[in-house]
Copies of this chain bind each other. A is one copy, B any other.
Amino acid sequence: MTENEWIFHLSKYLSTESPIVASYNEDCAVITLETGEFLLLTTDAMVERVHFDLAYTEYYALGYKLASINLSDIASMGGLPLYALLTIGCPTPPDSIWIDPLMEGLVSQLHKYGVKLVGGDTVRADQLILNLCVIGKTERPLLRSGAKPGDLIYVSRPLGQSSAFLKFLKKENFDQIPDELKRSHFYPEPEVILGRAIKDFATSAIDISDGLLLDLFRLCVASCVSAHIFEEAIPVGNFANLEDALSGGEDYALLFTLNEKDTNKLEEISGKLQRTFFPIGKIYEGNGEIILIGREGERRLLSPSGYDHFTFQPLL
């Protein structure tokens, strides 16, 4: 099975009845609580030689990124992350030399967003494997499925740098790679604050973990709409190119939609957070078509491509 086939296949094992609001095709499971709030549950794993390479990855960065990718799922639902559980699989018993920087990277990033590590499991495994489970809550879950024709599409920051880092790595010495790319790849920042700020008026959101095109495609399919995006509007990070920005993955930027009448609310947030957000296109009626409008006005129907967790080649 490909990853998409598996996600579809898996759906028959996932519960969907009330009080469960979402269990698949969303970044988190969403469950209605008795208090009227919603519980958010997510889990994401990172595996040595699949997601990271210890030859050039510091343990501190590993822990930091593990926290970030999980918090990013909570962020994309407009959630407040609360608690985390860590599972470590390792070939040799934990040793302070590596476990302390790993834990410090993890815990410092969790604490930055008020998240408490409360438990976990440690097991032997042939390669280092890290799994985090994060529990959060929200008053209003921001789903992938709420985009409506006419909505504007935004991304929260420039894209493609994490993927550009990997391309540089193939042809350059590590030391020659721009620090900015290393930072994007090793220390992605989850959009928790932005997610909280837009949850009451954004119509849909997803975090860009597998590439803008693939994640926009998922959002469009979940919302039963199509999207037009403008090549010149796509924010391409320094040292990255359009392909990195469209299909690179591991950006952990937020991709979200809102009704045109709410742009002033986003402007207000933009002012408060002193950040620029990037309108890249518009939602139309349709069935998941992504149309890229070029600088000369030419239109291309894009097929989503991005990180497939099953076919992706090992980094080594």
Cross-chain contact of A309 among B6, B13, B43, B123 (Cβ < 8 A): B123
User: Does A50 touch B at the CB level, under 8 Å?
Assistant: yes
Report if A133-B85 is in contact (Cβ < 8 Å); known contacts: A118-B23, A125-B127.
yes
Which of chain B's residues have a CB closer than 8 A to the CB of A121?
Answer: 43-45, 131
Residue interface mask A281-297, B partner, CB < 8 A = 1: 00000000000000000
Is the beta-carbon distance between A29 and B123 smaller than 8 angstroms?
no
Q: Smallest Cβ distance from A19 to chain B, in angstroms?
A: 10
Is the beta-carbon distance between A107 and B13 smaller than 8 angstroms?
yes
Give Cα A6–Cα B102 distance, bound, in whole angstroms. Answer: 14
User: Does A147 touch B at the CB level, under 8 Å?
Assistant: no
Q: Smallest Cβ distance from A56 to chain B, in angstroms?
A: 19
Question: In chain A, residues 93-131, which have Cβ atoms closer than 8 Å to a Cβ of chain B?
Answer: 93-96, 99, 103, 106-107, 116-127, 129, 131
Is the beta-carbon distance between A116 and B20 smaller than 8 angstroms?
yes
User: Does A1 touch B at the CB level, under 8 Å?
Assistant: yes
Is the beta-carbon distance between B123 and A24 smaller than 8 angstroms?
no
Report if A94-B9 is in contact (Cβ < 8 Å); known contacts: A44-B121, A135-B41.
yes
A121, A122, A310, A312 — which one has the most chain B CB atoms within 10 A of its CB? Answer: A121
Give Cα A46–Cα B86 distance, bound, in whole angstroms. Answer: 14
> How many residues on chain A are close to B (CB under 8 Å)?
60
User: Does A34 touch B at the CB level, under 8 Å?
Assistant: yes
User: Does A54 touch B at the CB level, under 8 Å?
Assistant: no
User: Does A87 touch B at the CB level, under 8 Å?
Assistant: yes
Q: Smallest Cβ distance from A36 to chain B, in angstroms?
A: 11
Report if A122-B6 is in contact (Cβ < 8 Å); known contacts: A89-B45, A116-B20.
yes
Is the beta-carbon distance between A126 and B124 smaller than 8 angstroms?
no
Which of chain B's residues have a CB closer than 8 A to the CB of A126?
Answer: 49, 126-127
**Besides A29-B85, A125-B125, 20 other CB < 8 A contacts?**
A1-B94, A10-B120, A13-B107, A13-B117, A15-B117, A29-B119, A41-B83, A41-B85, A41-B119, A41-B135, A43-B119, A43-B120, A45-B131, A46-B123, A47-B89, A51-B123, A87-B87, A123-B309, A124-B312, A126-B126
Residue numbers of A with Cβ under 8 A of B are 1-3, 6, 9-10, 13-15, 20, 23-24, 28-29, 31, 34-35, 39, 41-47, 49-51, 83, 85-87, 89, 93-96, 99, 103, 106-107, 116-127, 129, 131, 133, 135, 309-310, 312
